[in-house]
A and B are shown apart, each in its own frame.
Chain A
């Protein structure tokens, strides 16, 4: 017994103190893939590693590393200079010394520059002899299909055209994913891209050389907490200088094609060091369960709030008058705001930002109208003889509401809640836009990658969920609506 205990005392500390590291990533394919690569090199260096995939946009991941909930992730020099340090144009060394003051270290460049670029179909570019952006000057007949964002932003399409003195006659905004399809089918000749987009490798596109260095550089680097073990930092540094644009594009294409980020990471190790790496990824069922769970959480919380607020508002709105018009009008106006716009309006408000609260608030506001309106209608359509009977009996107003009015209006109120719930299940897919997760996650990322399978992975469960919610409410109705009121 004693030798065994002794052994345990020796082994346990080793297990407990096996050093751990947490890798983060942003919400796009490249960040996921690089996160998986970081995880693998750290594991090889003897660390136990957790990869928090797709945490959100820059501000979220940056606050995570500042706050210490992750140890490292891949960031871009342009983003560090402009968004984090607000000093556009500073060099990597300057970035490194600025961030050192914040306790954050910066690795060397991984190699590629993921910046805006213009892409054309290879055969088309070759036929016209176009290799660089300034070559476009001689081809005003080319059809362009930049993204809405690129067309609109101040440093986007118009600026680059002005800088190079190019004028194209046919320019129309088109979605990023669909734009690639249009480019490939020849409907458009040129579009903006990120220089490492998977589609560049997939469709064999030519990225035009930015011969006037118009676009800023976005070189990928690891940022890490300076408290991170030097061995871990050294492990991360092994990735430095190993990935160029076309390699990154191929890695992204691999990830999109296999839907498996660790498989893309494995491809990296195969090509870099020729060694085979065992691929592992969260099984689909677990991912699906995660999405559904988050979706139900968002819907559940917002619906609960909507019931708690909507029913009393509906009671107040049941009496005709100015208050009633105000309540019904107000909730109606909310409903007319496009959901995307409502979310966009909430995000800049300090309390909300990119959080679950924003998603829940938006869903809550959308759920209000059916509940408020049905409560008001249910109460105001109670037949006059019943109201008068209740009044003449001499019931107190509280008892009248609780014992007579609300039970009589219950089927209508429940129908309103059911409507809200079903709408909410659908609208909640938009929560993924602001990183709140749920079934919108595969839909949004699928749309951005033009990947219909991924879209369906979110859309089909969301539709099924809506049906299940409907059935649950039907059952609830049978359970709580008094037998005397049920339709025969």
Chain B
């Protein structure tokens, strides 16, 4: 395994929740500076991978390495501060304005000066005048942009996005997809994106990792999936995703 090229390495990582197996022992390398899209039907374990990476769940076996450091309880807090995490409904704190949500961690660490909130707003196409609004006063798309700003505020080395567009309606979703692609291109961070939409995965991801029942089925590009499917499930999954045709 080449740790230098891989930003994140999972080696023999397994996880079960009571009687259900969420992940079979699994090996995965996430290359630095690239967008890796984790995709698969619900319950395939893609979100579990992300939750393992941010330390919300702990693996039953195996090792997780982030930026060359092993993720264990002691290293968790420091490693988390090098990650930006966005979830489906943003996880914004409703009692704080957008600005406060973005600045929260920087203020806690006394690193306010490192955050250029205007630049973040323009990067995420978020209207400056809405910075002092509360999350409930924003649209769903705007909330996700604030969540992105919060994730990016302290220049994380890796962005972890768990279905960030999952709760948005199609038009807003398309807008944000376009903007996300631009953002990824500009920040050049390592990105792990969890989605259930092959179109989104193909559009945003440099690499696609298709999972099923806690195992990786195939890794590669959409083209490779179409031309050399590892097993019939790959073709089946692609066919079921009608949006692929549109792209």
Contact = CB atoms under 8 A, between A and B. Distances in A.
Whether both chains belong to one complex is answered with yes
Interface of A: 385-386, 388-396, 399, 403-404, 407-408, 410, 482-485, 488
Contacts of A485: 94-95
A407 B93 CA distance: 10
Interface in B78-97: 78, 80-81, 83, 85, 87-89, 91-97
A278 B89 CA distance: 79
26 contacts: A386-B93, A388-B56, A388-B87, A388-B91, A389-B85, A389-B87, A389-B92, A392-B55, A392-B83, A393-B80, A393-B104, A393-B105, A393-B150, A394-B77, A394-B105, A395-B105, A399-B108, A403-B104, A403-B108, A404-B93, A407-B95, A410-B95, A483-B134, A484-B94, A484-B136, A484-B137
A484 B89 contact: no
B66 interface: no
B134 to A, nearest CB: 3
B9 interface: no
Given A393-B105, A395-B105, A399-B108, A385 B77 contact: no
B141 interface: no
Contact of B54 (A390, A392, A395, A410): A392
Contacts of A483: 134
B105 A385 contact: no
B31 interface: no
- Per CB-CB distance, the 5 closest pairs between chain A and chain B, nearest first, are A484-B134, A389-B91, A482-B95, A394-B80, A394-B81
B135 interface: yes
Contacts of A404: 93
Interface centre among A392, A396, A408, A483 (most CB of B within 10 A): A392
A478 to B, nearest CB: 14
Interface in B38-62: 54-56
B91 A484 contact: no
Contact of B95 (A389, A392, A399, A408): A408
Interface string B223-239: 00000000000000000
Given A399-B108, A403-B104, A484-B134, A392 B93 contact: no
- Interface size of B as a range: 20 to 34
Scoring B78, B92, B108 by chain A CB atoms within 10 A of each residue's CB, the highest score goes to B108
Contacts of B104: 393, 395, 403
B56 A391 contact: yes
Given A388-B87, A394-B81, A403-B104, A484 B54 contact: no
A388 B56 CA distance: 7
Contacts of B92: 389
A393 B90 CA distance: 13
A482 B85 contact: no
Contact of B94 (A393, A395, A403, A408): A408
B77 A482 contact: no
A407 to B, nearest CB: 5
A396 B137 CA distance: 28
A84 B150 CA distance: 75
Given A389-B91, A403-B108, 12 more contacts: A385-B88, A386-B94, A389-B92, A392-B56, A392-B80, A393-B150, A394-B77, A394-B78, A395-B105, A399-B108, A407-B95, A484-B94
Nearest to A396: B108
A403 B96 CA distance: 9
Contacts of B137: 484
Nearest to A404: B93
Contacts of B91: 385-386, 388-389
A361 to B, nearest CB: 35
A456 B87 CA distance: 59
Nearest to B160: A392
B92 to A, nearest CB: 8
B139 to A, nearest CB: 15
B107 to A, nearest CB: 9
A394 B77 CA distance: 5
Residue with the greatest number of chain B CB neighbours at <10 A, chosen from A389, A390, A410, A482: A389
Contacts of B97: 484
Interface in B98-116: 104-105, 108
A488 B95 CA distance: 14
A308 B93 CA distance: 26
A241 to B, nearest CB: 76
B201 to A, nearest CB: 23
B96 A482 contact: yes
Nearest to B83: A392
Contacts of B55: 392
B184 to A, nearest CB: 20
A401 to B, nearest CB: 13
Contacts of B81: 394
A190 to B, nearest CB: 68
A408 B93 contact: yes
A392 B134 contact: no
Contacts of B88: 385
A136 B56 CA distance: 85
